[in-house]
Amino acid sequence: MQQFACQLQLISKMNKNSQNLKKRRETKVQDKQNFYKLVAMHQDKLSESSFAQTQQSGPQYMRMHNYKNIQYTADLGIGQPGNTFKVVLDTGSANLWIDSTRCQEEGCMRHKQYNHEDSQSFLPLNQELNVEFGSGDLKGVVNADTVYFGDVTLPRQNMAEITSENGAIFRDLDFDGILGLAYPKMAPKNFNPVFDNLMDQRVLERNQFSFYFAKDANDIAHSEFTLGGYNPAHVDGDIHYHDVIDKYYWMIKADNILVDNKDIGLCHGSCRLIVDTGTSIMSGPFDDLGTLLRTLNVKSHCHEINTLPTITFKIDDVDYTLEPEEYVKPTNFDAAQLTEVNEGDDLQALIEVNNWDCIAAFMPLDIQQPQGPAWILGDVFLRKYYSIYDRDNDQVGFAKAKK
């Protein structure tokens, strides 16, 4: 129990990674005016030729930037094609947040900031939006502008210009915003997420997107986001599709979670799984994760990782297995990285005091009902399995990713 408590104390600090901040709640938008009335007031601007795009587009392969296997970002143009920002493509949230000149705090000013005064396609909506994360919060004002996503021009896209940030979310990480790709049910009332805007304008032949995450932390060039389908070049073998069971997150159902093919009681009949590209590790309900960590006993096997058991997520009778070298992280490698995104001195001291050489890449997180309890399949899982997100059929597809 003492080891488990220390493990939980250590991995809970990893919650401060911006991609691991999923214990959040969207506050109600302060509706000073109805969103659609505001759009109607600007119909003359919305009718300009620059806002029209009717030609459908096939799959587009977009390079992603890999920041030490902690986060993956893509370029998003706002206001004009060349005005690009690095955004985290996050299937665990639904809004578009962008760092802006409205925020003069240190965490904001370290990154590229959007200035609406430089854009001729800016559309003021002036609605406030606040989001609370596990290690801070964001405040912003929602307006609209033309967004350039791959080869697609997306007019009048609503986005939250960040006006204030509290916490380490922007201070230390290499990104300028977050592009949420979850279902619109997660977004505040009257706000259309980016992908839903794409669907409404019928610019894609397939309402799908997919991810390939490079496995090597030093590989900054080969991670890829596909818009409008998937890239067969990254798929090794068959693709298996699983139905979304709650159109809020990309949530699917697992039959069981096995350790060395044994049932240790992690699923009680079945488990909910959230597929989340914005979470760099994985998470599970507090009590169930405790059972898993005690069974693994990772700390005692750091010098012989290959003797640890496999972890298998059984979904619709398909086995998705993680080998120990895929879910165990050596602290002499990761601690230096984690210090860049956490209160690093405390984390480093905790590792040294406990003399740990490795940790399991899981953190405890009790997601509340009605979406929880649930496990999160983050980038640790998604590096091994190519993932496809299909809004036409409300399914998530997995296939082993080619190396």
Give catalytic residues, as residue numbers: 90, 276
| Direct distance between the N- and C-terminal alpha carbons of the chain, in angstroms, rounded to an integer | 38
Q: Which residue is it, tokens 């995450």?
A: 213
Contact (CB, 8 A) for 366 and 375:
no
Residue type at 276?
D
Contact (CB, 8 A) for 230 and 397:
yes
C-alpha 329/C-alpha 215 separation (Å) is: 13
Phi-psi bin for 316: left (phi > 0), alpha (psi -120 to 50), beta?
A: left
Contact (CB, 8 A) for 64 and 273:
no
C-alpha 117/C-alpha 310 separation (Å) is: 54
Question: What are the angstrom distances between the C-alpha of 246 and each of 30, 40, 257, 382?
Answer: 27, 33, 20, 20
Q: Is 75 helix (H, G, I), strand (E, B) or coil?
A: strand
Reference 112, options 123, 103, 120; nearest CA is 103
Length reported for the chain: 403
Q: Is 293 helix (H, G, I), strand (E, B) or coil?
A: helix
C-alpha 171/C-alpha 292 separation (Å) is: 33
Both tokens of 255, joined, read: 């039959």
Both tokens of 326, joined, read: 């895929």
**Strand order across the beta sheet in which 362-364 lies:** 246-247, 250-254, 271-275, 375-377, 282-284, 362-364
